[in-house]
Chains A and B, each alone.
Chain A
Amino acid sequence: MSQELLVASALSVRFGGVRALDGLDIRVHEGEVLGVIGPNGSGKTTFFNAVTGFVTTAGGSVTLGGETITGLVPREIARRGIARTFQRLRLLLELSVFDNLMLGQHLSLDHGIVANLLLRGRLRASMTSHIESARHLLSYFSATLPGKLFEPVSALTMIDRRRVEVCRALIREPRLLLLDEPSAGMTPEETAELMRDLQKVKAERSRLAVILIEHDMDVIESVSDRCAVFDYGRKLCEGSYAEVSSDPAVRRAYLGVDDE
């Protein structure tokens, strides 16, 4: 059994009187893909926001590799190796693909005044290697995207934008990648393609763990090692896709099937 990476225990988040997360327990191991499903408002995105420090928790704890990260600000959590995408893409549209990817590299870049303003030759050399690695990462996802490295993201198609957002989260080689509904706004074929490409990256990074929020059950079935079903801020059940999809409570709450 591989090592536990993320452990959320009894995690709670309240918005006024609403319990958005209500004592949630989630464990993710290194190298694992956990699919998260659940109806709208069941707390899936809130879970991501709680893990990445975007909302304050009302109780419980989150640890990453044994270290408690509850209560840290987003940038500190990013520093510890969690990267995420957003349900509604949050790319810097005016900026180039390269600029967006380099925002993903922020913590690895040298922001010294001298390094940036005076030692331009060295900056150029380091930039060349960043361009190289950005092209390499993009090439996992598309044959044409590496050639669009210096085009503004606003000029890209929806699927290319998704790819850039996923690459932005992957580029600094996080330990845990949180994907918030990557299929939104894309056709099922495009989503399947994105997931296949992601698997190619994952195959080379054996310890990379992924949590995937997804509505599309086919996507969940094809990529996730384990599934967790959320309902009203709680975990309804957990297990393999086959176990989860046959669970009567899940069929009632989520799949909308009456159990006879």
Chain B
Amino acid sequence: MPNGLPIVSDRRASPLPALGALVAGAAAVLGLLLAEQQWEVATLAIVGAVALLIGGKLGWGEVVHRSATDHHRWITPVAWLTAALVIFGLREHNFELLMLCTVMLYMVAGLGLTVQFGYTGVVNFAAAAFMGVGAYTAAVLLLHTGLPHVLVILAGGLVSAVIGSVLLLPLLRTRGHYAALITIAFGILFRTFLEVNDTLGGPQGLKVPGMEWFGLVFNDAIEIDDETEWSFYLRYAGLCLVLLFFAYHFVRRLERSWLGLSLDAVRLDETAASAFGLNGAAWKIAAFSIGNFLAGMAGAVYAMVTAFIAPASFTFGDSLILVSIVILGGLGNPLGLLPAALIVVVLPEKLQVIQEYRFLLFAALVIAILLVRPGGLIPRRARDYFPGTGGR
């Protein structure tokens, strides 16, 4: 009988499948963002879907996972480096960088939902409202105080978590549909509150000053020489990537620890878990607050990136979009958020033909994917406490 940590396989897998997936992913992101013709986008979408179907049938996911796990020490940094390179590659494309920022911030909020809904089973149909809390907090702090801007981002998360605690009492007393209704009600209340509140700009919203960091003004143009000018969104994209980096690894480590096990136990059978000493309410409070903290930070950065926020940016529809990203990507799998957020955020912008039908398309897409792949685009895997141990 083997002792100690189980090793998935004695032979290390080749790093090529993981690298291949990385290159294909980067190419898909760049292709999707830079495609200008409708037919290019459509072709890319179809190729992606076919690759997904064939890959699913042939077990590519398993191969890539093995390869990435066996070489995680350098594959993970290389993946982040690739993301940075993709952003740098788009340095002269304003609109594309802005979309990428939105994708990354939706992913951060999606990571929050992953903790709440994916792990702990606490529903939250007001994720966009919690982003809104963070955004408005940032706007007010930036307009009226001299707080360092990094702290403004943290404050957005904190205020969002604190305001979320208002919902804790009703949330802990209800389950399922009723808990969902409470969060929906909160989202609608939040929007109504913003619309009638003149100090927060009412329905017209607020202009938000840009980010500054040690004298670096994010909104300034980046002039390289007389001919070339890089988009000022380049700095914001970097900021979003840093936020995403921390949020991603935070959630990953959370899952791969005793904490993640407890959150899963609350979702799967809170009553049985209580027989072993687990305090379900405490874990739900922690998960809900962590999730709202992440959404709030995403909202604070979102406010700075877009320079303008209004109640219409944080509607129930946006909350639904966030939930659909989490489910589409694969509930509980942070990696799935990337393709899901790309599809949901970028595809409608690129396929102008479908603009008017975008919600119809999402609904159809989510239903179709859940029928074909019930676990989502990249289904969650068994908990792998440490890469190469345990769940294969």
Contact = CB atoms under 8 A, between A and B. Distances in A.
Interface of A: 52, 54, 73-75, 78-79, 83-84, 86, 90-96, 98-99, 102-107, 109-111, 113, 116-117, 120, 123-124, 127-128, 131-132, 135, 139, 146-147, 149-150, 152, 168, 172
A94 B118 CA distance: 13
Given A90-B269, A96-B391, A99-B261, A75 B278 contact: yes
A95 B268 contact: yes
B382 interface: yes
Contacts of B390: 96, 98, 149-150
B264 interface: yes
Nearest to A76: B277
B392 A150 contact: yes
Given A135-B1, A150-B390, A111 B262 contact: yes
Nearest to A178: B275
B192 interface: no
Interface string B263-286: 011001101111111110000000
Contacts of A86: 272
Given A96-B391, A99-B264, A117-B254, A75 B274 contact: yes
Nearest to A168: B276
A139 B340 CA distance: 43
B383 A99 contact: yes
A114 to B, nearest CB: 11
Given A104-B276, A111-B258, A92 B1 contact: no
Given A96-B383, A111-B262, A116 B271 contact: no
Q: Which applies to chain A's interface (DSSP): helix, strand, loop or mixed?
A: helix
Contacts of A95: 261, 264-265, 268, 382-383
Nearest to A104: B276
A92 B275 contact: no
Contacts of A52: 275
A158 B381 CA distance: 23
Given A78-B277, A92-B264, A103-B276, A117 B257 contact: yes
Interface of B: 1-6, 250, 253-254, 257-259, 261-262, 264-265, 268-269, 271-279, 382-383, 385-386, 389-392
A131 B6 CA distance: 9
A94 B121 CA distance: 14
A224 B4 CA distance: 36
B1 A102 contact: no
A39 B261 CA distance: 38
Contact of B385 (A74, A127, A135): A127
Contacts of B278: 75, 103, 106
Contact of A110 (B250, B258, B271): B258
Contacts of B262: 106, 111
A103 B265 contact: yes
Contacts of A168: 276
Contact of A92 (B2, B4, B269): B269
5 closest residue pairs by CB, A with B: A116-B257, A90-B272, A107-B277, A78-B277, A150-B390
Nearest to A152: B382
A48 B5 CA distance: 37
Given A95-B383, A116-B259, A117-B254, 8 more contacts: A78-B276, A93-B268, A94-B268, A95-B268, A106-B276, A123-B385, A128-B5, A150-B390
Nearest to A130: B258
Contact of A75 (B6, B259, B277, B385): B277
A132 B390 CA distance: 13
Nearest to B278: A106
Contact of A150 (B254, B265, B391): B391
A124 B276 CA distance: 23
Contacts of B265: 92, 95, 103, 106
25 contacts: A74-B274, A78-B275, A78-B276, A86-B272, A92-B264, A92-B269, A93-B268, A94-B268, A95-B382, A95-B383, A99-B383, A103-B265, A104-B276, A106-B265, A106-B276, A117-B250, A123-B257, A124-B385, A128-B4, A128-B5, A131-B6, A132-B3, A147-B1, A150-B391, A152-B382
Contacts of A103: 261, 265, 273, 276, 278
